[in-house]
Amino acid sequence: MDQERIRNFSIIAHIDHGKSTLADRILELTEAVSSREMREQVLDTMDLERERGITIKAQAVRVHWKGHELNLIDTPGHVDFTYEVSRSLQACEGALLVVDAAQGIEAQTLANAYLAIENDLEIVPVVNKIDLPQADPDGTAAELADLVGESPERVLRISAKTGEGVADVLDAVVERVPAPRGEPDAPARALVFDSSYDQYRGVVAFVRVVDGSFRRRERLRAMAAGTRFEAEELGFFSPTMRPTETLGTGEVGYVITGLKDVSRLRVGDTLTSEERPAEAPLPGYKDVKPMVFAGLYPTDSDDYPELRDALEKLKLNDAALFYEPETSQALGFGFRCGFLGLLHMEIVRERLEREFDLDLLVTAPNVAYRVETPTGETIEVHSPADMPAELERIEEPYINASIIVPKEYVGSVMELCNERRGRYGSLEYLSESRVHLTYELPLAEVVVDFYDQLKSRTRGYASFDYDMAGFREADLARVDILVGGEPVDALSLIVHRADAYERGRALVERLRDEIPRQMFDVAIQAAIGSRVIARETVKARRKDVLAKCYGGDITRKRKLLEKQKAGKRRMKQVGMVEVPQEAFLAVLNLGQEPRR
């Protein structure tokens, strides 16, 4: 295809603002899919995505419209995948910014719109759902025009549901989105903006060819990872896989690599030809690092091998997922897993439970800490249990939080942010009724229940997005929980020193209620180092006898004792103390419950 007739674009929208429906209509209108055969929302392939209304993995679909080749590149819709979004956007020259006429701009829309602007994309503003009775197309169009610096007349008004205005959207893509630049004769370079794993064909890379062109069977190299492979197949989606012989400058498609591991071909890497390699990779590659960590343990320790296999399989398709074996004396064998964020963690957990049928116990999440030891060494700590006792300083990750909320909730949101050690950034009115607030917050304060609290304190109206703001020194303490004098590794927490007492107390009280009385007094303590900050005692039982036992009772009594013994075996042993698994569960849940 003539480079001048190629248009690469994506759709930016908040969850439920109609991205998938619009994509469906575009495919229908361009006859890539006949409406009879059409599955709803063809771009979202995974069940889970469908249920959550979000997209985890991007794909690209090629359609034709009035003599042009249009590549619609799907972007992940959530904050945890900002980097992937930014790579997807880098593969485009334009973006449709879709906003629900009844809801207006949300934090996520804003974040992604800024990303698009940063990537120098032509933005086509679209107000969707104009057919809804509660729609305010004019108000929303004004907000949108203001955001992207266009006149309100240039804002398209459509209903993806009814199809009204969708043809105008395609016309606007052709007219407003520039054709891809790039040198057809230069050494080939393609941006990997997504990848997925197919069990038969290995890693499939989604690429945007920037310079030059690629041929089938060509030897290729990933410039950042150094991985070499042969392009077993090239092609594009329309919407199913269509193999081709070449992918030319400006085109979007896939490359089947035969690689067996997604980590060898990461999003953001640059592909080039071995024969005539480019000198420099495309800019912007980042090695995304997990920021949120949690221990994952099988509820039934016999399931450990299944959990290991399941994580291995997920990892094939999720380069950002990190895991390493971890042993907890309380919870047994499991894995310490690293995630991009909370949502990423939830998705992994749900997939493990749903697709692999595993029952999991997840410890309270924590963030990655940078610790400077007395010897001047800097280490990264992913688990409270690994936090060294002796240290010079700790740094924790901060985020720039962006929150959009109706103005009557500004007070509650500011209160929440202050409780969570937030530092106020800015306040800006998007319209008469809606406010955009920014705060700098420790990520650790966000991973627990911030989002739920934000939603509940704003009756669900607030929208929230964030990006990483780097590490800052913090006054943190590791709180250990000791049962009968023995620390329980899985329950250690890293908290801000000011919260240590309250958190320690809550944990200790909950454990006291959950640990059954034993044959001796059991002290339950929260401690920072050797200093006990909270203590409770589970008093010893004074009496535990089977009252009567004569000739006719012996069998029953024996069975009772055997049952009691079996019950003991199901308990986890902490020193001499028997702790039921439920106690750990209750306490771990406490770590995830709303705090006051």
Q: What are the residues binding other proteins (CB under 8 A)? A: 519-520, 541-552, 554-555, 557-558, 561-562, 564-565, 568, 576
Lookup result for tokens 């009115």: 429
Please answer whether residues 143 and 99 qualify as being in contact, where contact means their C-beta atoms are separated by less than 8 angstroms: yes
DSSP-derived secondary structure for 122-186 = EEEEEEE-TTSTT--HHHHHHHHHHHHT--GGGSEE-BTTTTBTHHHHHHHHHHHSPPP---TTS
Close Cβ partners of 563 (under 8 Å, ≥ 6 residues apart) = none
Minimal distance in Å, beta carbon 545 to other proteins?
5
Q: Which is nearer to other proteins, 187 or 575 (CB)?
A: 575
**End-to-end CA separation in angstroms for the chain:** 61
Minimal distance in Å, beta carbon 567 to other proteins?
8
DSSP state of 326: E
Minimal distance in Å, beta carbon 522 to other proteins?
12
The span from the CA of 554 to the CA of 241, in Å, is 72
Name which of 532, 507, 537 is nearest 522 in CA terms: 537
Amino acid letter, 478 = R
Minimal distance in Å, beta carbon 544 to other proteins?
4
Q: Which is nearer to other proteins, 241 or 571 (CB)?
A: 571
Minimal distance in Å, beta carbon 547 to other proteins?
4
Provide the strand spans (E) within 257-392: 270-273, 292-298, 322-328, 332-339, 360-362, 366-367, 369-372, 378-381
Q: Which is nearer to other proteins, 389 or 566 (CB)?
A: 566
Beta pairing class for 6-13 and 68-73:
parallel
Minimal distance in Å, beta carbon 448 to other proteins?
35
Minimal distance in Å, beta carbon 551 to other proteins?
5
Minimal distance in Å, beta carbon 480 to other proteins?
24
Other residues' Cβ atoms within 10 Å of the Cβ of residue 566: 9
Q: Which is nearer to other proteins, 379 or 546 (CB)?
A: 546
Please answer whether residues 288 and 339 qualify as being in contact, where contact means their C-beta atoms are separated by less than 8 angstroms: no
Q: Which is nearer to other proteins, 313 or 512 (CB)?
A: 512
Please answer whether residues 581 and 570 qualify as being in contact, where contact means their C-beta atoms are separated by less than 8 angstroms: yes
Q: Which is nearer to other proteins, 459 or 541 (CB)?
A: 541
Q: Which is nearer to other proteins, 280 or 561 (CB)?
A: 561
Name which of 534, 524, 522, 538 is nearest 577 in CA terms: 522
Minimal distance in Å, beta carbon 517 to other proteins?
10
Altogether, the residues listed in the chain come to a count of 596
Please answer whether residues 89 and 388 qualify as being in contact, where contact means their C-beta atoms are separated by less than 8 angstroms: no
Q: Which is nearer to other proteins, 362 or 577 (CB)?
A: 577
Q: Is the peptide bond before 239 cis (omega within 30 degrees of 0)?
A: yes
Q: Which is nearer to other proteins, 36 or 569 (CB)?
A: 569
Minimal distance in Å, beta carbon 537 to other proteins?
15
Q: Which is nearer to other proteins, 406 or 516 (CB)?
A: 516
Q: Which is nearer to other proteins, 531 or 542 (CB)?
A: 542
As given in the structure block, the two tokens for residue 554 are 């012996």
The span from the CA of 375 to the CA of 359, in Å, is 42
Minimal distance in Å, beta carbon 579 to other proteins?
15
